[in-house]
């Protein structure tokens, strides 16, 4: 990480920080026996900023190419994926209709029949018992009536599954929820840093040895049979497996998670960077899916990832996904800038202090929030 000379920071910045803290502290309720105040909401975990190496040098996954010296500032991230119950609250409050619940546009898809343009989504359907060979991706079937309320089609429902991660969520659905919640989708750098859980030199979030007891993945030969050594044939309730080193659940397996970054096969420009945002939309392209156009990065793998297929249940792994397509194994979780809870506008500070690098300002603020978390919030970071 870069060295920061605090002496170059203007008095105005420090005054702004102290003023924001005073206002924030006075607005907080008095701590009660063992309860402490944090810059993060209670359903989120504080992740102290730092530098790390993104990706891997695994020749089997060229899209994971290493980007060295990537720095992220401190942030808050949700402990688990957004659940059916949480998404239902959002829909009830706003009347939002997801992409999977809308008919396809006749103007955009003139070659499709009215039935083919009906609302629906992609659902995983394993081959029938006894079949030993199938065409690649034939296990994904367009299913009319499939959506977050009916994950396997109109005859299915989510009763008794309030604590399951919501699925059939397109990118714009996740963004709509984030805007309503006052949060954001994580960047790929934020997501991968948080997923590592302080383990920056191991293959998995828990170590170097695969274990079916650590995450909801597929054991057996995909897509023909699942040995269910992890205890689940499909999606598991959030928090069913041990958390990582940051206390985050399901950063491996269960369902893929959307990130804010557009996908590109390489990480060009992300090395030696501060809070990288990835490529632009016009730069987004996956040579494996040239017909899809611009796509977003999804991370974490899912319950369908097996050793013989996908095997992306690793924090460095990444995949591309069309933003208009939700499936029965894609969900999301959100992040929040803890500085925003203190009423500090870093962009305004940058404008007010043009002689000071944005990295320096952000580092000062990160250190300040770290002090709050350690001294007031009781963090052991």
Query: Which listed CATH number (3.40.50.150, 3.90.226.10, 3.90.1580.10, 3.60.70.12) goes with 81-337?
Result: 3.90.1580.10
User: What is the pLDDT at residue 128?
Assistant: 80
Residues contacting residue 230 through CB under 8 Å, at least 6 positions apart: 212, 213, 215, 216, 217, 219, 236, 241
User: What is the pLDDT at residue 18?
Assistant: 54
pLDDT in tens, the chain (381 residues): 444 444 444 555 555 555 555 554 445 444 333 344 577 999 999 999 999 999 998 888 999 999 999 999 999 999 999 999 999 999 999 999 999 999 888 887 788 787 778 899 999 998 887 677 777 778 899 999 999 999 999 999 999 999 999 999 999 999 999 999 999 999 999 999 999 999 999 999 999 999 999 999 999 999 999 999 999 999 999 999 999 999 999 999 999 999 999 999 998 889 999 999 999 999 999 999 998 899 999 999 999 999 998 889 999 999 999 999 999 999 999 999 987 766 666 666 666 666 666 666 666 677 767 766 666 545 444
- CA angle 15/20/24 to nearest 5° reads 150
Separation of alpha carbons 307 and 313, rounded Å:
9
- Could you report how far apart the first and last alpha carbons of the chain are, in Å? 17
β-pairing, 335-336 with 120-124? unpaired
User: What is the pLDDT at residue 352?
Assistant: 65
Separation of alpha carbons 187 and 208, rounded Å:
25
pTM, full prediction? 0.86
- Tokens 């239902």 locate to 88
User: What is the pLDDT at residue 34?
Assistant: 39
Partnered with residue 257 across adjacent β-strands are 299, 331
User: What is the pLDDT at residue 275?
Assistant: 92
Beta strands in 26-181 (DSSP E): 44-47, 50-54, 67-72, 75-78, 120-124, 140-144
User: What is the pLDDT at residue 22?
Assistant: 55
User: What is the pLDDT at residue 351?
Assistant: 66
């Amino acid at each position: 990480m870069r060295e920061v000379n605090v002496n170059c920071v203007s008095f105005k910045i420090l005054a702004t920080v102290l003023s924001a803290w005073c206002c924030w502290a006075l607005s907080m309720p008095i701590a009660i026996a063992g309860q402490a105040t944090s810059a993060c909401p209670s359903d989120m975990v504080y992740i102290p900023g730092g530098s790390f190496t993104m990706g891997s040098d695994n020749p089997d996954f060229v899209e994971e190419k290493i980007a060295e010296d990537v720095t992220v500032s401190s942030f808050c991230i949700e402990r688990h994926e957004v659940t059916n119950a949480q998404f239902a609250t959002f829909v009830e409050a706003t009347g939002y209709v997801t992409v999977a619940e809308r008919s396809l546009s006749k103007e955009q898809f003139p070659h499709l029949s009215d039935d083919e343009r009906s609302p629906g989504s992609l659902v995983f359907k394993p081959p029938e018992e006894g079949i030993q060979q199938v065409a690649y991706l034939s296990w994904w079937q367009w299913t009319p009536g499939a959506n977050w309320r009916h994950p396997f089609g109109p005859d299915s429902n989510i009763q008794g599954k309030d604590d399951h991660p919501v699925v059939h969520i397109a990118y714009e659905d996740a963004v709509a929820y984030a805007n309503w919640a006052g949060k954001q989708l994580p960047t790929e750098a934020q997501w991968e840093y948080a997923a590592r859980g302080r383990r920056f030199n191991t293959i998995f979030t828990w170590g170097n040895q695969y274990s079916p007891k650590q995450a909801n993945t597929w054991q057996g030969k995909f897509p023909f049979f699942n040995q269910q050594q992890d205890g689940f044939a499909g999606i598991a309730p959030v928090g069913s497996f041990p958390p990582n080193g940051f206390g985050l659940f399901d950063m491996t397996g269960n369902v893929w998670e959307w990130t804010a970054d557009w996908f590109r096969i390489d990480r060009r420009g992300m090395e030696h960077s501060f809070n990288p945002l990835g490529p632009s939309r016009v730069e987004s392209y996956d040579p494996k899916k040239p017909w899809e156009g611009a796509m977003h990065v999804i991370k974490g793998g899912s319950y369908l990832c097996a050793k013989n297929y996908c095997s992306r249940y690793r924090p460095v792994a990444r995949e591309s996904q069309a933003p208009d397509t939700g499936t029965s194994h894609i969900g999301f979780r959100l992040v929040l800038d803890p500085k925003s809870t203190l009423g500090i506008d870093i962009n305004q500070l940058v404008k007010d202090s043009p002689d000071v690098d944005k990295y320096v300002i952000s580092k000062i603020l990160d250190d300040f929030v770290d002090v709050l978390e350690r001294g007031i919030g009781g963090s052991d970071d």
